[in-house]
Structure 1
Amino acid sequence: MNPLPLPSCCDEPVEHWPLPRPLTGTRLVSARFDPERLAPDDFARCAIPPLGGAAKRQAEHLAGRLCARQALLGLAGIPDVPAVGADRAPQWPAGTVGSITHSDGWAAALVGHASLWRGLGLDAETLLQPARSERLARQILTPGEQERSAVLPLDQRAWLVTLVFSLKESLFKALYPLVRQRFYFQDAELLEWSADGQARLRLLTPLAADWPTGAELEGQFAQLEERLLTLVGIGH
């Protein structure tokens, strides 16, 4: 039985690890949600500060924060909800780091001990359809990534564009709290990925003294039905 109140729009959060390589000192919690089930008192019922906007935006925010609270409770025994910072990034409790993601009715949060992890980035993306992936490819892929993907069949190329998009989102979420500098799709590239869910990325622009051009980071990914889940963890 979940000890924390649940909103009408969200199923009970579940702690699990769907990715190929567990990370020590972390918790990952996910939940399905339905914006059409959002009730006027859902935020108040869960003691989570309300967010304005359309029902979809409210439901995904609520579900993400609910997962974060459940993950923090499991990790550190503190049922806190990360506030929204001035830069719109989650503000994690002292001693913890984390990341929140949501995609088409599914939300997840990953939290870890700050003594073990400098940054964590989690991202979920619904697989792009081939026509849309072709329209977005030049925005998401570097010239080198475009060249390597050009030899693939259209459906495999769409899958790879989705993977690159999601890994770069995870990279941003992991690095931004450390460098406090925005960077974009063309500022990093996917060097390699393997069928067992391992990936390696490289920065193409300097972000800070600790993160020069050429710095490499490890990532991982898993396909969950029609969704890709990616993670970049930066340890101490």
Structure 2
Amino acid sequence: MNSSPILPTCCTALDAHWPLPSVLPETVLLSTRFDPKQLLGDDFQRSAIEPPPSIQRSVAKRQAEFLAGRICARAALQQLEGSSVIPAIGEDRAPVWPAHICGSITHSTGHAAAIVANKQHWRGLGMDLENLLETERAERLAGEILTPPELQRMAAGAREQLALLVTLTFSVKESLFKALYPIVQKRFYFEHAEVLEWTEQGQVRLRLLTDLSGEWRHGTELEAQFGVQDGQLLSLVSIPA
């Protein structure tokens, strides 16, 4: 039996805890904490992960993010189906998964995660991790992220929830893009979807505001979920097979 690659010093042991309200069957989600200051020069080699040229040229923070995310992705695929594939970076900068696999990798300050599934169970998975915005910054960014109806609902809500709402809207639209882009192969942006409603228990309902394909048309609604822990918000959009 092959020995597992060594975990770099900059990463904690992989965590299989499910951090969201609803567990998705037939998926594997793994996460790790990482510290760029502890990244060593030979960590990629020791982890048996070849960094692409763009990562080799980047700063320690970006290198640690990439390494931590790929370690999670490889281990998730290993757990799912026994393969040791490491997703490459595609021309569109998205991870390149095996043809029968859908997955998503995300990272924010000191935290990385990956989720994978076989396409016979899930057509698309999009996951995004964000640091919770400060209220003042959320107010400044709201006009770039929220649609006019979303801005109206924000204005009608409690100010103490404003930062959570803007962070959630940003994150869940990122997750939506990650889940749908591999299916439709068409780019779309914050103004092309809106959050219709969300609950403090972590459920979200989204609606497309543009036609992306014959199947994914203006008005299509999708479900998402999110969780908040240690000042970070994790969101997930999952599209069943």
TM-score (norm 1): 0.97
In 2, Cα distance between equivalents of 1:156 and 1:44:
44
List 4+ stretches of structure 1 deviating above 2 A. 151-155
- What is the 5 A alignment of 1:197-212? 197-212=202-217
Uncovered stretches (5+) of structure 2, i.e. residues with no partner: none
Asked if structure 2 preserves the Cα contact closer than 8 Å seen for 1:189 and 1:203, the reply is yes
**How far 1:71 moved relative to its partner?**
0.6
Q: Identity rate of aligned residues, in percent?
A: 57
Q: How does 1:98-177 map to 2 (within 5 A)?
A: 98-177=103-182
**Contact 2:33 2:112 (C-alpha < 8 Å) held by counterparts:** yes
Write the mapping of 1:1-236 to structure 2, written as runs, cut at 5 A: 3-50=4-51, 51-52=55-56, 53-236=58-241
Quick one: distance in 2 between partners of 1:225 and 1:34?
16
- SS in structure 2 of the partner of residue 205 of structure 1: coil
Matched letter for residue 6 of structure 2: P
Deviation at 1:152, TM superposition (A): 2.6
Other structure's SS at 1:11 match: coil
Q: CA deviation at 1:4?
A: 3.1
> Offset of 1:47 from its aligned partner?
1.4
C-alpha displacement of 1:154:
2.8
Q: How many residues align?
A: 235
Counterpart-to-counterpart distance in 2, 1:15 and 1:92: 20
Aligned counterparts of 2:21 and 2:204: Cα–Cα separation in 1: 11
Partner Cα distance (1:176, 1:8) in 2 = 34
Q: 2-side partners of 1:153 and 1:196: how far apart? A: 17
Q: How far 1:35 sits from its partner (Å)? A: 0.6
Query: What code does the residue aligned with 1:211 have?
Result: W
- 1:48 alignment partner AA: I
Q: For 1:117 and 1:4, how far apart are their aligned partners in 2? A: 28
For residues 35 and 178 of structure 1, the distance between their equivalents in structure 2, rounded to whole angstroms, comes to: 33
CA contact (8 A) 1:7 1:46 kept: yes
Alpha-carbon distance in 2 for matches of 1:7, 1:155: 39
State the distance in 1 between where 2:229 and 2:213 align.
Answer: 34
**Matched letter for residue 14 of structure 2:** P
Structure 1: distance between partners of 2:158 and 2:99: 47
How far 1:157 sits from its partner (Å)? 0.6
TM-score scaled by length of structure 2: 0.95
Cα deviation, 1:167-187, whole Å, max 9, x if unaligned, reads: 000000000001111110010
- 1:27–1:114: structure 2 CA closer, same or farther, 3 Å change rule? same
Aligned CA-pair RMSD: 1.1
**Residues 122-162 of structure 1: per-residue CA shift (max 9 Å, x gap):** 01111000111111100000000000000233331111000
